[in-house]
């Protein structure tokens, strides 16, 4: 982990005279802090005022809880499940299953798109839980540009394009061909996607951000950055924030001590918020957010109880023995509700997946889950956007 001062270089603070690190932290404390808004979908059940012995300091602590689910989301760092503000991820069930005038739902639309995905297995890429999250993010944010860092077989590009025919896409990947023997990469046939892949590779942080913003070629406030590259997620979030990007989705949001790469194990938002060794980074990130939410898996891990798949050491998959104290409540509870069980079986059957999740393919589809998260970032003050 690089020293915290290195992160401030992203914001050009290293070249601004007369500003100390303590002044920066003071500045962060003065930034507005947006609190969750209670509504029928929020699941925020209450707030507690905690007093010091002299009752001069009051700290407001909000929690997000769900019936028959052990996890508690805290609006504070230092917890295994952190939440902040209001993200559409919190309303995923309502958004996906609310019927329109024709009796159709967004889930109906998604299932048809998922059924026709270019790689049915996508062994080294997103599957149903993360595809649902990415699809919803594009639908809700309606970005003018999605910058996708990590393309591999192009399946995530497929979902971005399916969610919005008009959105521009920058598809970034250093590899010319997909890894894991996935054959040919899916390439968007429209003229709205620029492929920074293979010999045309340009890293997310090497794009001409300042030039594109200055020339108004991109609108950072209407740009969604999708991070799926197994690099240092925290550094990349901090890096794009300095250019005014407001929305980031992190796909590989591994828990503490999990990760497919070294960077996965030391850089995710979930780790920054919980790990004591990253408290400074976690506090900084939390204080610079309007909202943070982890997307709910479609069903709980108990639905894989007949599966013999072992727990993955690197994480990234749910297991029937999970205690579920660090993930949000699933969209559906087929383990408790007959109505939800019917919905789940209908979805699985339409997709040609055994709802018992007994076979490996079925398990890999529904249990692949890595706390994919949405971060709505605070805007950076203009004088701190670029280096002097």
pLDDT of amino acid 36: 32
Position 233 pLDDT exceeds 60? yes
Average pLDDT on 121-139 reads 95
Q: For 73-78, what is the mean pLDDT?
A: 96
Residue 86 main-chain phi, psi, to 5 deg = -120, 110
The Cα-based distances of 148 to 155, 161, 225, 228, 238 in angstroms read: 11, 12, 6, 7, 16
CATH number for the domain spanning 43: value is 3.40.50.150
Least confident of 34-48, 294-308, 340-354: 34-48
pLDDT reading at 272 higher than 90: yes
Q: Does the structure show a pLDDT above 70 at 59?
A: no
Q: How many domains does the chain have?
A: 1
pLDDT at 24: 32
Q: What is the mean pLDDT of residues 294-303?
A: 98
Residue recorded with tokens 């639309």: 109
| Best CA proximity match to 46, nearest among 72, 70, 68, 77 | 72
pLDDT in the model for residue 382: 55
Give yes or no for a contact between 30 and 51, defined as CB atoms under 8 angstroms apart. Answer: no
Smallest Cα–Cα separation from 250: which of 284, 292, 221? 292
pLDDT at residue number 178: 86
Query: In the predicted model, what is the mean pLDDT of residues 54-79?
Result: 80
Q: What is the pLDDT of residue 22?
A: 32
Whether 330 has a pLDDT exceeding 50, the answer reads: yes
Sheet holding 44-51, edge to edge: 44-51, 58-65, 72-74
Model pLDDT, residue 288: 95
- Of residues 57 and 330, the one with the higher pLDDT is 330
Q: What pLDDT does residue 380 have?
A: 76
* DSSP-assigned beta bridge partners for residue 62: 47
Task: State the pTM of this model.
Answer: 0.85
How confident is the model at residue 88, as a pLDDT?
Answer: 98
In whole angstroms, give the CA distance from residue 195 to residue 190: 11
Q: For a pLDDT cut of 90, what percent of the chain falls above it?
A: 77
7-54 pLDDT, tens digit per residue, is 333 333 333 333 233 333 333 333 333 333 333 444 544 444 344 444
What integer is the mean pLDDT of 358-374?
97
pLDDT, mean of residues 375-385: 74
Q: What is the per-residue pLDDT for 366?
A: 98
Mean pLDDT of the region 330-347: 98
pLDDT given for residue 381 in this prediction? 61
Closest to 43 in 3D by CA, of 63, 28, 61, 26 = 63
Report the mean per-residue pLDDT for the chain. 86
pLDDT of residue 123: 87
Whether 375 shows a pLDDT value over 80: the answer reads yes
The residue assigned the tokens 């999708």 is 226
**CA-CA distance, 180 to 81, in Å (whole number)?**
32
The residue range of the domain holding 81 is 4-384
pLDDT more than 70, % of the chain: 82
Per-residue pLDDT tens digits for 174-198: 999 888 888 889 999 999 999 999 9
278 pLDDT tier (thresholds 50, 70, 90): very high
Which conformational region is residue 77 in: left (phi greater than 0), alpha (psi within -120 to 50 degrees), or beta?
Answer: beta
Structural contact between residues 178 and 211, judged by C-beta atoms closer than 8 angstroms: no
């Amino acid at each position: 982990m690089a020293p915290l001062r290195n992160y401030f270089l992203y914001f050009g603070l290293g070249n601004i005279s007369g500003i100390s690190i303590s002044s920066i932290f003071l500045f962060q404390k003065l930034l507005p802090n947006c609190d969750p808004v209670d509504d029928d979908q929020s699941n925020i059940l209450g707030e507690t005022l905690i007093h010091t012995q002299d009752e001069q300091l009051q700290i407001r602590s909000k929690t997000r809880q769900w019936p028959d689910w052990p996890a508690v989301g805290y609006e504070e760092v230092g917890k295994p499940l952190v939440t902040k503000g209001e993200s559409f991820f919190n309303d995923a069930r309502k958004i996906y299953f609310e019927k329109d005038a024709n009796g159709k739902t967004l889930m109906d639309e998604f299932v048809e798109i998922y059924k026709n995905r270019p790689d049915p297995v996508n062994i080294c890429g997103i599957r149903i839980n993360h595809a649902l999250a990415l699809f919803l993010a594009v639908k809700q944010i309606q970005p003018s540009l999605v910058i996708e860092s990590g393309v591999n077989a192009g399946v995530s590009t497929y979902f971005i394009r399916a969610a919005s025919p008009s959105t521009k896409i920058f598809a970034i990947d250093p590899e010319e061909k997909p890894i894991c023997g996935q054959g040919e990469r899916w390439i968007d046939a429209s003229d709205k996607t620029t492929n920074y892949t293979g010999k045309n590779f340009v890293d997310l942080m090497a794009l001409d951000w300042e030039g594109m913003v200055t020339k108004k070629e991109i609108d950072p406030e209407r740009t969604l950055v999708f991070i799926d590259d197994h690099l240092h997620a925290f550094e990349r979030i901090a890096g794009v924030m300095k250019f005014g990007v407001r929305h980031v989705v992190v796909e590989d949001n591994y828990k503490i001590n999990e990760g497919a790469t070294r960077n996965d194990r030391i850089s995710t938002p979930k780790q920054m918020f919980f790990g004591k060794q990253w408290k400074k980074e976690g506090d900084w990130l939390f204080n610079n957010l309007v909202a943070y939410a982890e997307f709910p898996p479609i069903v709980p891990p108990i639905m894989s109880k007949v599966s013999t798949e072992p727990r993955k050491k690197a994480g990234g998959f749910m297991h029937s023995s999970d205690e579920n104290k660090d993930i949000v409540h699933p969209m559906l509870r087929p383990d408790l509700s007959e109505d939800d069980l019917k919905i789940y079986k209908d979805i699985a059957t339409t997709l040609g997946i055994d709802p018992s999740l007994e076979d490996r393919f079925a398990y890999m589809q529904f249990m692949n889950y890595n706390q994919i998260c949405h971060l709505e970032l605070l805007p950076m003050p203009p004088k701190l956007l670029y280096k002097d």
